[in-house]
Copies of this chain bind each other. A is one copy, B any other.
Amino acid sequence: MTAPEIIRPAGPFDLGGTGDGAGRPARAQDVARAAGVSTATVSRAFNAPEKVAPAVRDRVLEVAAALGWLPHPAGAALAKRRTAIAGVVIPNLGQEVFAFQVEAMQAAFAERGITLLIGCANYDPAEAVRQTRAMLARGVEALAVVGESQADGFFEMIEARRVPYVVTYGYRADSPHPSVGFDNRDAFRVITRHLLDLGHQTFGGILQPMGNNDRVAARLAGVRETLADQGLGLRPGHLREGRADIAFGRESLRAMMEGPAPRPTAIICGTDLLAVGALLEAPALGLRIPQDLSVTGFDDIALAAEFDPPLTTMRVDCAEIGRLAAGHLLARLEGIATPGKIAIIPSFIARGTTASAPRR
C-alpha cells in the first residue's frame, strides 16, 4: 500500500488560524469586532484579565477560542519590547547531564511564559559563538552557557547586547562570570581522598579533552593536589586524555595496564562513560574489579548504578543547576538582585568498583 502520495505545499504565507472566514488568520481586531469590544479590551482580556469585567472577559475569550486566535508573538514582542525568549548553549544534546539541566530550565522558564532556545556547540568554541550569535539575533533576553572556557570575545559579545547570562556546570569563586555549578576541583579531591583512604598509592587518570574545557582541567588539578599532599603524583604514562566515550576508556585502561610497572591500582575517570569503558576492558586484562583494580566515574548516569559491579561515582543534581540558573536569570530579568555565584555540592556515592588496594 505504498501509493505515491504527494503532499500539496502549504506555501510560506499560510500560517495562522481560521480567521473570519477568509483564508487570512484571525487578528485581535477580528476578535474585537466579533465580541463587540475594542482591541484594547481583547488585549487586556489576555494580558490583564483582572482589568476587564468578568462578563466581557469571558465573551472575549470565548470568541477568541472560536476564531482560534492567539496573540501573535511578533506583534506582542514589538509592543511589549520583550521577546520572551531565553537561550541555553550546551556542548551536546543526548547527554544525560545536559538534558536534565535543559529540561529543568525549560520548565522554570515556561512557568513565566518564556520559551527556551537550545543550542548545541558540540564542544567547538567557534560553534558556540555561532549558536550564541544566532540567539542574540533572535532577541533572547537571557542566556545560559555551559562552562566558561569560550572563544575570545564570547562574553563580550553577550555583554555588548546587555543580555544577562550565567555560566553553568562550572564554578570558580574568582570567575568574572555569574555562575551556577560546583567546584570540579573539590569534587575530584573527594574522589582521590576516598581512594587514598583505601590505601591506593599508584593512580591512573582517564579524562576527556581539556582544551576548551575548564571543568576537566579543574578535575585534574583536584586529583594532582590531593595526591601531592601525600607526596604522590600522576605518572605521565598514567594520564590519558581523549574522547569522552566508552572506547577511549577501554583503550586507556589497556594502555596503562600493558605499560611498564608500577601499574595503577586505582583509576580515576573524568566521566562515568570512561569508567564504564575501563570496567568493560578489565576482565579482558585479567583484572577483577574491585579486588585488583578500583575505578571511579563522575556524573552518576543511569548506567552507573546498574552496572556490575555498580560504579562508584559522584552525583551532580543537574536539574537543580538548571532550576537555579533559570531562577538567576529570571531574577535579573525582573530586576531583582541576585547572588553572582551559586554553588551546588555534588555527592559522592561509594558503590562496588572501589575497594582496598591489593596487597603487593
Interface residues of A (CB under 8 A from B): 1-18, 25, 68, 70-75, 77-78, 81-83, 92-96, 98-100, 102-103, 106, 110, 115, 117-118, 120, 134, 136-139, 141, 160-164, 173-174, 178, 245-247, 250, 276-277, 280, 283-284, 302-303, 306-308, 328, 331-341
Contacts and interface: CB of A to CB of B under 8 A. Distances in A.
A14 B306 contact: no
Contact of A306 (B178, B247, B340): B247
Contact of A9 (B3, B102, B110, B337): B337
A68 B15 CA distance: 31
B7 A178 contact: yes
A31 B99 CA distance: 40
A5 B306 contact: no
B338 A72 contact: no
Most chain B C-beta atoms within 10 Å of own C-beta, residue among A3, A10, A82, A250: A10
This chain's copy number in the assembly: 2
A295 to B, nearest CB: 15
Given A74-B83, A115-B138, A162-B14, A7 B110 contact: no
A15 B98 contact: no
Nearest to A98: B94
A162 to B, nearest CB: 5
A74 B12 CA distance: 17
Contacts of A70: 136-137
A106 B134 CA distance: 12
Contacts of A13: 81-82
Given A15-B161, A83-B73, A280-B308, A339 B5 contact: yes
Contacts of A120: 103, 106
Contact of A332 (B1, B7, B284, B340): B7
Contact of A340 (B7, B15, B302): B7
A1 B173 CA distance: 6
A196 to B, nearest CB: 26
A302 B277 CA distance: 11
A17 B139 CA distance: 11
Nearest to A23: B162
A160 to B, nearest CB: 6
A335 B9 contact: yes
Contacts of A328: 7
A94 B99 contact: yes
A306 B280 contact: yes
A4 B72 CA distance: 42
Nearest to A122: B103
B134 A110 contact: yes
A208 to B, nearest CB: 14
A67 B28 CA distance: 35
Contacts of A178: 7
A337 B7 contact: yes
Contact of A94 (B17, B74, B94): B94
A6 B10 CA distance: 51
Contacts of A3: 173
Given A94-B94, A245-B302, A308 B283 contact: yes
